[in-house]
């Protein structure tokens, strides 16, 4: 990162490059902050949790997008909102897996290929879960 640069995307045609975070990194950071919190957070509180390198408006935009995707919930607080995760991390991952599965018409082939790429430990765990066993993920 260039000296004095804040941790926000910067478009500078004079420099000839764009400094941007990888797609989804900001959303993941915001979600991590929400998951670690004891309760709902304002955009300002999220900004502070992330170290203050982002503008509050950037954090608000990310939270608004996450809300539109159904990943966070929000409640009115004065003129603004407080935000909380709609699910825990495993729940969000499961939701994403379902969304990917729903994108393909040939669910059987998708699931077969998914299962064929599982490690032996994950295959045993999946088999246990399908048989109604506990979700103990330790090998």
pLDDT, tens digit, 9 for 90 and up, residues 87-128: 998 998 998 899 899 999 999 999 999 999 999 999 999 999
Q: Given pLDDT bands bounded at 50, 70 and 90, which one contains residue 53?
A: confident
**Residue 55's closest CA among 93, 22, 26, 18?**
26
Q: What is the pLDDT of residue 23?
A: 59
- Number of CB atoms found within 10 A of residue 40's CB: 17
Please state at what angle helix 25-36 crosses helix 89-102, rounded to 10 degrees.
Answer: 140
Q: Which residues of 62-83 are buried (b: 16+ CB within 10 A; e: fewer)?
A: bbeebeeeebbbbeeeeeebbb
Give the tokens for residue 135: 């979700």
**Is the pLDDT reported for residue 83 higher than 90?**
yes
Contact 25, 79 (CB under 8 A): no
Residue 46, Cβ neighbours under 10 Å: how many? 23
* Nearest alpha carbon to residue 115 among 97, 92, 137: 97
Does residue 5 carry a pLDDT above 50? Answer: no
Residues facing residue 84 across a β-bridge: 73
Residue 61 has pLDDT above 50, yes or no: yes
Q: Please, are residues 56 and 43 in contact by the beta-carbon 8 Å criterion?
A: yes
| pLDDT score of 1 more than 50 | no
The fraction of the chain above a pLDDT of 70, given in percent, is 81
- pLDDT at 18 (0 to 100): 52
HSE, side-chain direction, 13 A CA sphere, residue 65 = 12
Which range of 20-34, 62-76, 119-133 scores highest in mean pLDDT? It is 62-76
């Amino acid at each position: 990162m260039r000296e004095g640069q804040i941790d926000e995307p910067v478009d500078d045609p004079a420099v000839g490059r764009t400094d941007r975070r990888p797609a989804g990194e900001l959303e993941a950071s915001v979600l991590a902050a929400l998951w670690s919190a004891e309760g709902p957070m304002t955009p300002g509180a999220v900004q502070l949790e992330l170290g203050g390198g982002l503008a509050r408006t950037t954090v608000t935009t990310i939270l608004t997008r996450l809300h539109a995707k159904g990943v966070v919930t929000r409640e009115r607080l004065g003129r603004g909102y407080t935000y909380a995760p709609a699910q825990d991390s495993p729940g969000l991952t499961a939701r994403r897996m379902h969304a990917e599965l729903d994108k393909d018409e040939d669910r059987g082939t998708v699931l077969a290929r998914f299962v064929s790429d599982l490690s032996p430990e994950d295959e045993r765990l999946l088999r246990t879960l399908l048989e109604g066993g506990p979700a103990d993920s330790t090998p």
